[in-house]
Amino acid sequence: MIRMKFESALRQKEEAFIKFKKDFGHVYDSQTYHLLDFDRFCLAEYPEEDSLTEDMVMRWSVIKDTETSNGYISRITTVRQFGKYLAMMGEDAFILPEGLKGGDMPLMPYIFSSESLRDFFLYTDTMDRYYQSTVRHIVAPVMFRYMYCCGLRPIEARRMDREDVNLKTGRIFVRESKYNKERVIYAPDELLSLTRDYLGKIAAVFPGSAALFVDRKGGRLSKDAHQYLFEHCRDGSGIKESGTKRPNMYSFRHSFATHRIYQWHKDGKDISSLLPGLSAYMGHTRYQHTLYYLHFLPELFSDMAGFDLEQFSEIIPGVTGDD
């Protein structure tokens, strides 16, 4: 019989993980038994180890002769979720590869915190003029704010023309990107004010350029130049990995959606009625791509007491990867 108390060197982290799950309404009974069994294994085989290591997890994940397929999947899924929880909390934890089937928690992308966003934009706002480019320090603060504030894909930001932004109404025309779709969105007033100032500075250097975000020669920013500039700002602002993923340019888009849904929850809004509008705003071809972000809220915000992920259980897909 499995004892009902965690006793290994991982016990405090295991107890915190179970509490985390139950705080968000998960019953988590069978999973608790699996984790207790894993704790007993760790106590016997790794009595001094207080980190979730690859060796212990892979040894635990060997299928037993008497184990059914469903039982095996349930057992390893619990430890995989435990690893993702620890990684999310900043721990150096091994996460069982997804190739071993099972699990209902998608791999979490990097989501900017308020602190990491502040650090990133503080860096872009104070960049020195680069000797090889007269505009890089002007472009970066505005372009990356568009990507976050409007949830743009990287290619959508690069393809923007000056004429695509209506500074009076805030109307933005997003050119065809994924699946050859075009759409119209609206920018917040603060971003429009920033854009007016930006356009004045860029026009003084490259008055004839049609592109909104330009390279050092006044042409449209290339994919490689865009990537290099992002990495320069990310590394310069001191932002590192969080959990299992390092921030990339899609992190702005992921953060836009996740932060928007979270704010709706805090404001007491009916999330289910607002999600179709968010889906259209982001240019998702399938509504399920927007529902994907609901996975992350309980894992990201420990103060979201009352957020009931189970109410969306029948419509949340197992979507992975960057859309």
Helix, coil or strand: residue 72:
helix
Q: What is the pLDDT of residues 185-219, one digit of tens each?
A: 999 899 999 999 999 999 999 998 999 999 999 99
- Helix 136-149 × helix 114-125 angle, to 10°: 150
The more confidently predicted of residues 19 and 290 is 19
Q: Structural domain boundaries of the chain?
A: 11-88, 107-323
- Please report the pLDDT score of residue 146 as a whole number: 96
Report the distance separating Cα 94 and Cα 86, nearest Å.
Answer: 9
Phi, psi dihedral angles at 162 (to 5 degrees): -60, -40
- Please report the pLDDT score of residue 55 as a whole number: 79
Bridge partners of 133? 130
- Please report the pLDDT score of residue 119 as a whole number: 94
Report the distance separating Cα 83 and Cα 41, nearest Å.
Answer: 16
Phi, psi dihedral angles at 130 (to 5 degrees): -85, 135
Per-residue pLDDT, averaged over 86-110, amounts to 66
- CB within 8 A of 118, min separation 6: which ones? none
Residue 147 · residue 154 · CB < 8 Å? yes
- Please report the pLDDT score of residue 113 as a whole number: 83
Report the distance separating Cα 280 and Cα 16, nearest Å.
Answer: 38
Report the distance separating Cα 89 and Cα 168, nearest Å.
Answer: 43
Report the distance separating Cα 316 and Cα 7, nearest Å.
Answer: 36
| 169: DSSP letter | T
Radius of gyration of the chain (CA): 23
Cα of first residue to Cα of last residue in the chain, in angstroms, is 46
Residue 273: band (very low, low, confident or very high) from pLDDT cuts 50, 70, 90: confident
The more confidently predicted of residues 222 and 54 is 222
Residue 298: band (very low, low, confident or very high) from pLDDT cuts 50, 70, 90: low
Helix, coil or strand: residue 185:
strand
Residue 310 token pair: 């189970």
Report the distance separating Cα 216 and Cα 231, nearest Å.
Answer: 17
What is the CATH topology of the domain spanning 107-323? hpI Integrase; Chain A (1.10.443)
Bridge partners of 215? none
